[in-house]
Amino acid sequence: MTSSLKEIMKLKEDRFSIDGPIWQEVQIKDSKEFEEVINIYEKLNLIDKKVFFRIYHHKGLEINSSNLMVQSNFKNFVAKKYKVSDPSFLNSQADLYKFIKKKKLSGPLILEGHMPESFIEKNEDMLFLEYKKGQYYKGSFSDMKKAAASISNFIKEFQSFDSSKLQEVEILQKNSKKIFESFALQKNSWRKKFGNEIANLLESEWGYIKECINNSSEEIVRIKKAKKFALHIDLHPHNLLIHKGECTILDIDSIRVCYWPSAVGFTIFKLLRQSLTHLSYDRKFEQNAKNFITILTESIHKEGIPGDVLFIGAKLEILRRLLIILEGNLGEKISPWNSVLEIQINALKEVNLLRELMLE
């Protein structure tokens, strides 16, 4: 057993390993969110406010959008509130949900009878979705099989989706070196801003982060040889709900246009990583992991895909996310993503360890 294998078998659980989802009831009389849901319903003449009796807030990392679970005497549903109210963005989201329904994909659906166009016309920033039962992806072999089926269908069908309204995500920031150098100049403030533990981690891994940035140009050239289309760029364990024989893909607003190795590679890394928090890397795991990768990529490249392209894509996507956090902390700024800074730093090393194991 190599030292790398010993190290990767000790992968620690992180915030995306926590069981859930967890919904916390909020007091209606004190809830601005509840009043907003009520006001929208009344404004659109959809239903009388008397039907509502409970509302729950999702306890999780919610930055680009937030989710409320509303219990009513006719149906439970999720009110998804976006942080932007741009009509073009909201129209693009409505198109995604319509496509998911048309192609019968395993994703959330717009609540029956709810016309998103009505919201958009009235400048609302919320969509009502059907409530889906399930538990977060835990990484068992059964979970891997269910997730592979749902994700592969998404990948296959979204290659034909008209993505002209969607935002495109770059492989890596064009000013990555500038971000890195600017953040390095603030080294004296790291401990005050992040605490000793994160500051020590930054210092110990700073040379490796620099190496990743310096090597990124050649790696980007390789990724750009792949095709780009609409893909979910944030499929971590908490964006997959497992219920009986189905895996539902959540956080549809994370679908963007990108080169496929970035999104698919990141997905493979995050889900296999979760499996390795409680499964041993043995022959059974390796076989299931390779089957998982094959199923996810078979609709993109029938002849098979060089495995290192997937792991290069994953590493660049992790680096892009890390740089977003660093840039968000320049000067006096504080990034809303600081709670996952440690995860991204560690992931840069973990993805290479996983690559070594899968390709040896």
Q: Are residues 217 and 127 in the same domain?
A: no
The predicted structure's pLDDT at residue 316: 98
Residue 192 lies in a domain: yes
Tell me the pLDDT tens digit for each residue of 15-45.
999 999 988 887 665 566 666 766 666 665 5
The predicted structure's pLDDT at residue 58: 78
Residue 32 lies in a domain: yes
Residue 4 lies in a domain: no
Q: Are residues 312 and 225 in the same domain?
A: yes
Residue 204 lies in a domain: yes
86 vs 170 pLDDT, higher one? 170
Q: Are residues 40 and 169 in the same domain?
A: no
Name the pLDDT band for 117 (thresholds 50, 70, 90).
low
Q: If you search the block for the tokens 């790291």, which residue do you land on?
A: 190
Q: How far apart are CA 328 and CA 313, in angstroms?
A: 23
pLDDT over 70 percentage in the chain: 83
Q: Are residues 181 and 36 in the same domain?
A: no
Q: Are residues 220 and 235 in the same domain?
A: yes
Encoding tokens for residue 234?
């944030």
Which of these three, 104, 131, 158, is where a domain ends?
Answer: 131
75 pLDDT higher than 90: no
Residue 262 lies in a domain: yes
Lowest model confidence (mean pLDDT) among 88-97, 182-191, 288-297 = 88-97
77 vs 252 pLDDT, higher one? 252
CA atoms within 13 A on the CB side of 44: 22
Q: What residue numbers bound the domain in which 186 lies? A: 136-359
Q: Are residues 105 and 205 in the same domain?
A: no
Which of these three, 131, 159, 188, is where a domain ends?
Answer: 131
Encoding tokens for residue 276?
């390795």
10 pLDDT higher than 90: no
The predicted structure's pLDDT at residue 281: 86
Lowest model confidence (mean pLDDT) among 214-223, 268-277, 300-309 = 300-309
Q: Kindly tell me the burial class for residue 31, based on how many C-beta atoms sit within 10 Å of its own C-beta (0-12, 13-18, 19 or more).
A: middle
199 vs 353 pLDDT, higher one? 199
130 pLDDT higher than 60: yes
Q: Are residues 69 and 191 in the same domain?
A: no
Residue 31 lies in a domain: yes
Question: What mean pLDDT do residues 57-85 have?
Answer: 76
54 pLDDT higher than 80: no
Q: Are residues 73 and 195 in the same domain?
A: no
Q: How far apart are CA 273 and CA 294, in angstroms?
A: 17
Q: Are residues 40 and 183 in the same domain?
A: no
Tell me the pLDDT tens digit for each residue of 298-355.
989 765 567 789 999 999 999 999 999 999 999 999 999 999 999 999 999 999 989 9
Residue 15 lies in a domain: no
Name the pLDDT band for 3 (thresholds 50, 70, 90).
low
Q: Kindly tell me the burial class for residue 162, based on how many C-beta atoms sit within 10 Å of its own C-beta (0-12, 13-18, 19 or more).
A: exposed
Across the beta sheet with 240-243, the strand order is 135-136, 240-243, 246-249
Instruction: State the chain's mean pLDDT as an integer.
Output: 87
Q: Are residues 120 and 181 in the same domain?
A: no
The predicted structure's pLDDT at residue 82: 83
Per the structure, how many domains does the chain have?
2
The predicted structure's pLDDT at residue 114: 63
Lowest model confidence (mean pLDDT) among 83-87, 146-150, 251-255, 344-348 = 83-87
4 pLDDT higher than 70: no
The predicted structure's pLDDT at residue 1: 47
Neighbours of 81 (CB within 10 A): 18
Strands 135-136 and 228-232: unpaired
Which of these three, 81, 100, 131, is where a domain ends?
Answer: 131
Q: Are residues 118 and 172 in the same domain?
A: no
Q: Kindly tell me the burial class for residue 324, based on how many C-beta atoms sit within 10 Å of its own C-beta (0-12, 13-18, 19 or more).
A: middle
The predicted structure's pLDDT at residue 187: 96
71 pLDDT higher than 70: yes
Q: How far apart are CA 212 and CA 326, in angstroms?
A: 15
Residue 217 lies in a domain: yes
The predicted structure's pLDDT at residue 277: 92
What is the CATH classification number for the domain harbouring 62? 3.30.200.20
Contact in structure between 254 and 239 (CB atoms under 8 Å): yes
234 pLDDT higher than 60: yes
Q: Are residues 166 and 124 in the same domain?
A: no
Lowest model confidence (mean pLDDT) among 28-42, 202-216, 222-236 = 28-42
